[in-house]
């Protein structure tokens, strides 16, 4: 365990804590690291209604380009933190995927033995309304998941 880590980050404070935890584990265990972020499918909510059609293609393309640029920026920042600690890391942006799905698919495809990610630890109505990608990964993962708060 801890030889091949997948660190999921969204660029938030909790994502940064997950990267920091990955650095510590990699230092101790000589781990191989994959840092992953995903961006949800673009949903515009634009419909034809009774007023004809509207070509949302260019808007969606621009949003996806913006998502990709933001993903590159946060993955580059995570890679710099890891490399600053003397740890090589691979990065992966998975567009048009819910985070839990992207994390689980990449973990399986890459043969990682541990997933590291942050969680807000919401409960009750907040969890019901906002969902929990961490809970979904925990429930569906076939490898250990380290949750950082």
Question: DSSP string spanning 113-142?
Answer: SEEEEE-----HHHHHHH--HHHHHHHH-S
Cα–Cα distance, 13 to 118 (Å, whole number) = 9
Cα–Cα distance, 21 to 25 (Å, whole number) = 6
pLDDT of residue 119: 85
Domain that holds residue 78: 10-42+55-118
Say if 137 falls within a structural domain: no
Strand order of the β-sheet with 4-8 is 89-95, 32-39, 4-8, 114-118, 145-148
Whether 8 and 18 have beta carbons less than 8 Å apart is answered as yes
Cα–Cα distance, 4 to 8 (Å, whole number) = 13
Say if 146 falls within a structural domain: no
Say if 124 falls within a structural domain: no
Say if 50 falls within a structural domain: no
Say if 140 falls within a structural domain: no
Say if 138 falls within a structural domain: no
Closest to 142 (Cα-Cα) out of 49, 35, 6, 13: 6
Stated length of the chain: 149
Say if 97 falls within a structural domain: yes
The CATH number given to whatever domain includes residue 78 is: 3.40.50.620
Say if 123 falls within a structural domain: no
From first to last of its 149 residues, the chain has per-residue pLDDT tens of: 899 999 999 988 999 999 999 999 999 999 999 999 999 887 766 655 555 566 777 888 888 999 999 999 999 999 999 999 999 999 999 999 999 999 999 999 999 999 999 987 555 544 444 458 888 999 999 999 999 98
The β-bridge partners of 4 are 32
Domain count, the chain: 1
């Amino acid at each position: 365990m801890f030889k091949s880590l997948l660190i999921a980050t969204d660029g938030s404070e909790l994502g940064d804590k997950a990267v920091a935890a990955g650095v510590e584990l990699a230092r101790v265990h000589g781990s191989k690291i994959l840092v992953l972020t995903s961006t949800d499918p673009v949903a515009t909510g634009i419909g034809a209604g009774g007023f004809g059609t509207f070509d949302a293609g260019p808007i969606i393309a621009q949003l996806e380009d913006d998502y990709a640029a933001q993903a590159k920026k946060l993955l580059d920042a995570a890679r710099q933190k890891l490399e600053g600690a003397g740890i090589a890391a691979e990065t992966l942006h998975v567009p048009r995927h819910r985070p839990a799905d992207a994390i689980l698919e990449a973990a399986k495809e890459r043969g990682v033995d541990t997933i590291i990610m942050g969680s807000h630890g919401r409960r009750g109505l907040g969890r019901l309304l906002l969902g929990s990608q961490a809970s979904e990964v925990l429930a569906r993962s076939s490898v250990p998941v380290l949750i950082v708060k």
